[in-house]
Chain A
Amino acid sequence: DTAVSQTPKYLVTQMGNDKSIKCEQNLGHDTMYWYKQDSKKFLKIMFSYNNKELIINETVPNRFSPKSPDKAHLNLHINSLELGDSAVYFCASSRINTIYFGEGSWLTVV
């Protein structure tokens, strides 16, 4: 069974559209995250949620809105997509010393 699963794996969309990426973890972890990996391959944290509460928001544009309906889910909604949003988005969850990442969602904005 996949520990951290995210959908869709690939997404191609036009500028200006609104899209969502879903994430689910079956590890029973309280903390979930969204990371972004850009074209230069640098991984950066976007958001961190603990028990459905926002803990970290790394100066991400307001167009990005995470939603955590319960501890096992953290979805990422993006409004008015821009070309620069093209990247790989990784969902993750953790206990204290280990973070488990999903396989990534490849977003391409055209």
Chain B
Amino acid sequence: DAKTTQPTSMDCAEGRAANLPCNHSTISGNEYVYWYRQIHSQGPQYIIHGLKNNETNEMASLIITEDRKSSTLILPHATLRDTAVYYCIVRVEADSWGKLQFGAGTQVVVTP
């Protein structure tokens, strides 16, 4: 699976959009971009995933560049409960055995 690069940390004001970048310059054509987050003392939580089109669900939006070498997770209206470590992961969707390779992630702190 391709390696990803994320900033170590970022702050966001409550109510504002949080834009979390991720670089994955060695991504392969059949690899998807996944985002998970881990709130303190909880298990990781799936957020969203995509291949090349932008995706949106009730939690977030995922913007993938045309060359697929980077992506941005957008939390449209950050709340204090969004404070967590956010992980960007690339993997082949058909790999149903679920070998997610977590990096260090981005520690997001949402402030009042």
Answer yes or no: B98 CB below 8 A from chain A CBs: yes
| Given A31-B98, A45-B99, A97 and B42 contact (CB-CB distance below 8 Å) | no
Q: How many residues of A contact B (CB 8 A)?
A: 25
Most A CB within 10 A of own CB, among B93, B97, B101: B97
Assess whether B43 is in contact with A90, with CB atoms less than 8 Å apart: yes
Q: How far is the CA of A15 from the CA of B111 in the complex (A)?
A: 41
Q: Is B28 an interface residue (CB 8 A)?
A: no
Cβ–Cβ < 8 Å partners of A90 in chain B: 43-44
Asked whether B100 is an interface residue with its Cβ less than 8 Å from the other chain, the reply is yes
Whether A33 and B98, one on each chain, are in contact in the complex, defined by CB atoms closer than 8 angstroms, is yes
- Assess whether A48 is in contact with B97, with CB atoms less than 8 Å apart: yes
Compute how far the CA of A102 lies from the CA of B44 in the bound complex, rounded to whole angstroms: 8
Residues of A within 8 A of B45 (CB): 101
A1 to B98 alpha-carbon distance, docked (Å): 23
Shortest distance from the beta carbon of A14 to any chain B beta carbon, whole Å: 24
For residue B82, give the distance in angstroms from its CB to the closest CB of chain A: 18
A41, A96, A98: the one contacting B85 at CB < 8 Å is A41
8 Å CB interface, B78-107 against A: 85, 93-94, 96-102, 104
Please list 23 pairs of residues, one from A and one from B, whose beta carbons are closer than 8 Å in the complex, sorted by A's number: A4-B43, A31-B96, A41-B104, A42-B102, A43-B38, A43-B102, A44-B102, A45-B99, A48-B99, A50-B96, A55-B97, A90-B44, A92-B43, A94-B98, A96-B93, A96-B96, A97-B32, A97-B49, A99-B44, A100-B46, A101-B43, A102-B43, A104-B42
Tell me the A residues contacting B by CB distance below 8 Å. 4, 31, 33, 41-45, 48, 50, 55-56, 90, 92, 94-104
